[in-house]
Amino acid sequence: MVGTKREQIQSGSQVFIVLKKDQRSGKLTKGIVKDILTKVPVHHHGIKVRLESGEIGRVKDIMQEHNAV
C-alpha cells in the first residue's frame, strides 16, 4: 500500500491524505508535506504528516514526479 512506509515520504512531497474527520467517507485532501509526524518506519494505516496548509492526516497516495527527457 502506498503511503505506509516512512522512507517513501519526504518534506516537499505532493501527497493525498485522509483527515481524521474524513476517515469514514474516505475523502482525500491534496497537499505538500511540511512535517512527517510518524516516527516508526512503517504504519499500516499510513504515515501521519502535516501539510504546508497545517492540515494533519495519514498519507494514502504519493504523487509521482515525472521528469521530461
Q: What is the pLDDT of residue 3?
A: 87
Question: Where do the structural domains in the chain lie, given as residue ranges?
Answer: 6-62
> How many other C-beta atoms are found inside a 10 Å radius of the C-beta of residue 33?
21
Three cell numbers, residue 25: 467517507
Q: What is the pLDDT of residues 50-64, one digit of tens each?
A: 999 999 999 999 997
Query: Could you report the per-residue pLDDT of 3-30, keeping only the tens digit for each?
Result: 899 999 999 999 999 999 999 999 999 9
Domain covering 6-62: architecture: Roll (2.30)
∠ at Cα 30 (46, 43), nearest 5°?
A: 5
